């Protein structure tokens, strides 16, 4: 069983991850948004304690939607 599992694992490892450019763009854009909110570069939750800024921004976004 061990050798068979190793071959299967070696085969599946390259197939994991993001497969479409659209997915990569979505993840990248979301990551940039979160970083900008955390650093205070966005208008969301600017007047909030920096440790709570991300949570407050998502609360504001949820209320807007």
Task: Please give the residue that has the higher pLDDT: either 1 or 6.
Answer: 6
Express each pLDDT in 14-44 by its tens digit.
Answer: 667 778 888 889 999 999 999 988 888 888 8
String of DSSP letters for the chain:
-HHHHHHHHHHHGGG-S--SHHHHHHHHHHHHHHHHHHHT-SSTTTTS-TTTHHHHHHHHHHHH-
CA angle 30, 36, 39 (to 5 degrees): 140
Global pTM reads 0.63
């Amino acid at each position: 069983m061990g050798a068979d599992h190793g071959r299967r694992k070696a085969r599946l490892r390259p197939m994991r991850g993001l497969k479409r450019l659209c997915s990569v763009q979505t993840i990248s854009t979301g990551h940039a948004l979160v970083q900008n909110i955390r650093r205070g570069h966005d208008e969301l939750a600017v007047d909030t304690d920096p440790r709570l800024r991300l949570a407050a921004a998502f609360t504001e976004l949820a209320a807007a939607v």
